[in-house]
Amino acid sequence: MVVQSKHFLNTSTSLVLDSLKGLCVLNPHLAIDPTTRVLHLANPDRSQVALVCGGGSGHEPSHSAFVGQGILSAAVCGNVFASPSAYQVRRAIDLVSNDAGTVIIVKNYTGDVLNFGLAKEQYAAIHPGKSDRVKFVIVGDDVAVGREQGRIVGRRGLAGVCLVYKIAGALAARGGSLDEVYAIAEQISSHLGTIGVGLEHCHVPGTAVPDTHLGNNELEIGLGIHNESGHRRVSPVPPLSELVLNLIQMITSTADPDRSFVPFKNDGTDCVVLLVNNLGGLSELELGAIVGEAKNALDKQGIKAMRVLAGSFMTSLNMPGFSITLLLLPGTEVDNAISTHFILSLLDDPTNAPGWKWSSKSEPKAITERTSLASVDTSPLSSESSLRAPDVRSFETAIERACDALLLAEDEITDMDKIAGDGDCGLTLSAGASSVLKVLSQGVIIGDDVVSSMIAISRVAEEKMGGTSGALYSIFFSSLAQALARSSAAVATTEVWSSALKSALARLYTYTRARPPSRTLIDPLTAFVDALPTGFEGAVLAVQDAAERTKDIEAKAGRSAYVEGDWLKGQKVPDPGAWGVKVIVEALAK
């Protein structure tokens, strides 16, 4: 895969500060010290414990977007993937200085620990009377690196730290003491496990595009949030259900002492908070599927998810990947002061921090699935018409050939649509072809009843293809069925088909403004209908010519109409929808 290396920015050096200023526009409760790049509460409650965190930028919304009532008091922002200096951190402590004390929370990376730790010690030296009013929490939740390999550096800090921020910050907002806030931060930190996976590394603005990257069918498990290589590479990319179950087991397994970091009992009594984190470049569509599979995997393990959170929490710029975090909640034997109920109530407390994601604040319920009333009816259709094909078997095999041809052409049509449209035409036609083959195999499409067969194809186009193409095909085949049903003939001859196709095209024209030449599927479809009365061979040639000529036609309809005309003509790419019609007709003619 190619690393996405283009970015929207003024300059790579100004990006961090520009982003922080944008957060202040978004949330008027925030303020910024531009010299030190510290984002902080504009009017903090100085009777409450302050929470200070930070690190390198590029992990947004961590850490700056979590500054807000009920989470963080201040965030210190270094350059991309680079720890801020001790001077910056000291400035943050001063900006939120208070009577109750300050808890500094850092991810376990050498630069962060050293610079934030140095700032704490310097602050204590400058303010000896407050030396005991600043506490230091290091969060390491990674489970990818075993104890032996990481015996010196320890576990890396990943998305789990966000749960520490939220829970400790909520307790501080309730008026918890310094010791209480520190204790719950340590408690949460010690019961976290996180594992990440990526399809590719990310690109740091202002740097060269990396030479090494993952293959097209390869992913990396256990990678870090600073482009560090992972625990292992896997190829081919496994199904999502298999991948997510493997990741969950890496967190929950206690079989290997070197990799067992969280004290799961795995006896059916474990309860967790599940956090599914977008590492920056993942689509919301994929993220939803991952959340569902993570819940399924926990159910299989006998682990109860008490809360589920999902979204971008700790990113790695534009990395196409995700991480899964589990917070193991206390059992009944734990002191009631830090009970499961207490932790969940803190997690549920409101906040105005712009980066914190919505959650249901309740235990997820079983998914209720209702059978669609509009599902494709796979029972043989009966029509009032008794119109049959001249050769029943040839009719059925011709439809099968057309579907097979569309499946083979999927990649070619998709490549065309990536240039001329939105990139989904090949997938749409392939979905329709696969579904037609299915109902064909079930005896729904039969040569003994061409009218019911056209109705079946119309239903498939409507329900399985979707989009503009699905609607066009569905209207056309539904209209074709109506026209065929009006025929008094017993056999669907070329003349019968020609008349019905002409009627169906006229009906289709009432729903679309596209007329030849339009650089759409209408072009070859119209050519076919017009030429068929003179013979099928000539109709095929007309379709081929019309589809080829879409390379040089200005788009007047369809998605191509939104693409710059001269550029599109220069690409010499035919319209993908038109090409799909060509593939179908050529297969029918064989």
DSSP 464: I
Query: Is cis: bond before 63, omega within 30 of 0?
Result: yes
The packing angle between helices 110-126 and 86-95, to 10°, is: 50
Q: Which residues contact 124 (CB under 8 A, 6 or more apart)?
A: 130, 131, 134
Alpha helices of 305-449 — where are they, by DSSP H? 340-348, 392-408, 410-420, 425-441
- The active-site residue, picked from 59, 63, 203, 226, is 226
Q: How far, in Å, CA of 207 to CA of 143, rounded?
A: 30
Residue 354 DSSP code: T
Nearby residues of 52 by Cβ (< 8 Å), 6 or more positions away: 72, 73, 74, 75, 76, 89, 92, 93, 96, 102, 103, 104, 105
Q: Write out the two tokens for 487.
A: 């025929």
Tokens 């910024």, residue located? 32
| CB contact burial 316-355 (16+ within 10 A = b; e otherwise) | bbbbbbbbbbbbbbbeeeeeeebebeebbebbebebebbb
Catalytic residue status for 226: yes
- CA 367/CA 434 separation, integer angstroms: 28
**CB-CB contact of 465 with 432 (8 Å):** yes
Contact partners, residue 552, CB within 8 Å, separation at least 6: 569, 572
Find the angle CA(480)-CA(481)-CA(486) to the nearest 5 degrees: 100
Report cis status (omega within 30 of 0) of the bond before 236. Answer: yes
Using CA atoms, how far apart are residues 225 and 56, in angstroms rounded to an integer? Answer: 10
Residues designated as active site: 226
